[in-house]
A and B are shown apart, each in its own frame.
Chain A
């Protein structure tokens, strides 16, 4: 059986290093984010504008896609359309093959992780080189990134030193972060100067002009989008914004929400091909890969507004304790819990919408005002309806849970009923054995009995 969130979370919870690193990372970024959003007297107005622009794009996506396509072509680029991951990978492989290159440099891109581009390139005999420091670390260590923003947060400096010593042949390298970064700089610089093809993702794609915007810190994005002769950019169809002026909203929302900076070190914005400056061949691959399924769900649709800032990860108590790997998906944390099941189906990732306590912290920080708890509850209902293989008792309980979790009043009521029903099974505040079809829930662990008073009841009664 494929392991779900509960099994992977169990493994992660035991990993102390990961928990310490994550707690440090999330606390640090949380503090910085709070400071730079707090200093803006118009933060809420920016969020309202960001959400509205995305709503406009998504409700009229067809028009904007067509406008974007013709803008890119007018500016000297080519546009390709990919229904799914496989088609996108085939397009990229073919484009790289045409150049005769055997290596490509890559800018950190969740979208290319999502479609498994690196594996596809490798299978085709093309070596993908990740150029973002953390992605490079993950690539060299053959591990999956664990955080959208700091993908190597699960590794400490000594582990990175050992990895670089081995991979770069630098036996005397110390674990000083400056030295480690210097080693990566030297290694990648040679690649930047000699590689003919780059693959990037996009933070924003502007329908009006065909421009692509990439937001970053290290400068690898600038290198990849400037030096190679050929640039291939993979764009999820939801990344569009209508006009250049709309960037004024997102270039304020994203860095402050993401790294907690007033502005990230580098933002690149390019439009097709510029004679004498940068790549002379430019391709955009517009990717669906499940996005139109998300679009078709009226409640789930708002998920596509996500600008991948990772603020929701950093405030999530579940994420802080389990880490990114537990989600078993490219998109971890609260956004992963709502995006992944919609992209790949609740049959595949049905446990993810349950990986949340519905505390609502994510929705409060989301710069584009995605109501993550609302989508979670909606998807829980869907997952439960689709779990036809489950036993009758469990199915009944699950649909009762789905019903109860879908509304706060109902949830409170169900809690009271639950307290009555559980009585015959409770011993010393634990439920050690449930009957019949529900026994699977207590086979390997005791269930805590429902407390006499919930946290919320206690809080309200203080």
Chain B
């Protein structure tokens, strides 16, 4: 008998008390928790992600390139990695943009990364990346020490269940990896003192694009 057979047999043996006719779906899962929230999702998103020591600014679509350039300049960052499919009107001027597929050593040497996202969650102040349009592969938003993320306000959903509905559909369709980001990386491992930025980007800035 293989290990697989043995474990499956042990499981079956251990569950002898479960009636043979019972199906998984016979076990009721009450889902009476909130799927939506009232109120302005954009404002809530800004409030909640700010709580994680993230700088968030609202920008008009026409000002995006200029405002992202300002944000990068204010941080003193000059060499920025971007995914290959960023639209022209997103591209900040005055910084060196590196869009070819950089290997991780090269990514480790840039000042930061600029990406879009798949969606964002207001309730928890979370950005979700799924490797889709304007996001690039995972290493891009992970290896550089700085991440500037652009969120269109139409991408902001209210709650975790709303977000998972969309993400589940994208995972089923494309099997692509998903990353949930809620603020910069952090640790409280040393005497519970919170330190921002252990391994991921130590700084996360967000621009929320809202029609004027």
Chain A interfacial positions (CB closer than 8 Å to B): 21, 24-25, 28, 41-42, 45-46, 48-49, 52-53, 55-56, 59-66, 75, 80-83, 87, 131-134, 137, 150-153, 156-157, 160, 177-178, 180-181, 184-185, 188-189, 192-193, 209, 211, 217-220, 222-223, 226-227, 237, 242-245, 247-249, 251-252, 259, 261-272, 274, 276-278, 286, 288, 292-293, 295-296, 298
Least Cβ–Cβ distance between B141 and chain A, in angstroms? 9
Residue from A52, A262, A278 in contact with B182 in the complex, judged by beta carbons closer than 8 Å: A262
A81 & B199 in contact (Cβ 8 Å cutoff): no
Bound Cα distance from A218 to B200, whole angstroms: 7
A45-B32, A226-B138, A251-B164 in contact; A265/B8 too (CB < 8 A)? no
Q: Is B96 at the interface (CB under 8 A from chain A)? A: no
Bound Cα distance from A188 to B187, whole angstroms: 15
A274 & B6 in contact (Cβ 8 Å cutoff): no
Chain A residues whose C-beta falls within 8 Å of the C-beta of B163 in the assembled complex: 248
Residue from B18, B131, B180, B184 in contact with A277 in the complex, judged by beta carbons closer than 8 Å: B131
Q: Is B212 at the interface (CB under 8 A from chain A)? A: no
Least Cβ–Cβ distance between A215 and chain B, in angstroms? 9
Residues of chain B at interface, number, CB under 8 A: 76
A266 & B125 in contact (Cβ 8 Å cutoff): no
Chain A residues whose C-beta falls within 8 Å of the C-beta of B13 in the assembled complex: 292, 296
Q: List 28 A-B contacts (CB under 8 A).
A: A25-B192, A59-B15, A60-B22, A62-B11, A132-B189, A137-B189, A150-B188, A157-B193, A181-B187, A181-B195, A184-B198, A189-B108, A193-B104, A217-B187, A218-B185, A219-B185, A219-B199, A219-B200, A248-B163, A262-B51, A263-B180, A265-B200, A266-B179, A266-B185, A267-B180, A271-B171, A277-B176, A292-B11
A244 & B198 in contact (Cβ 8 Å cutoff): no
A244 & B48 in contact (Cβ 8 Å cutoff): no
A41-B34, A87-B3, A265-B182 in contact; A185/B199 too (CB < 8 A)? yes
Q: Which 9 A-B pairs have the closest CB atoms?
A: A219-B200, A296-B14, A219-B199, A244-B168, A292-B10, A263-B124, A219-B185, A267-B180, A248-B164
Least Cβ–Cβ distance between B165 and chain A, in angstroms? 7
Binds A, one of B23-31, B61-69, B71-79: B23-31
A217-B185, A244-B168 in contact; A49/B15 too (CB < 8 A)? no
Q: Is B142 at the interface (CB under 8 A from chain A)? A: yes
Q: Which residue of A lies closest to B48 (CB)?
A: A262
Q: Is B95 at the interface (CB under 8 A from chain A)? A: no
Chain A residues whose C-beta falls within 8 Å of the C-beta of B137 in the assembled complex: 276-278
Majority DSSP secondary structure for residues of A touching B? helix
Bound Cα distance from A242 to B3, whole angstroms: 23
Chain B residues whose C-beta falls within 8 Å of the C-beta of A245 in the assembled complex: 161, 164-165, 168
A223 & B142 in contact (Cβ 8 Å cutoff): yes
A28-B192, A53-B29, A177-B190 in contact; A63/B138 too (CB < 8 A)? no
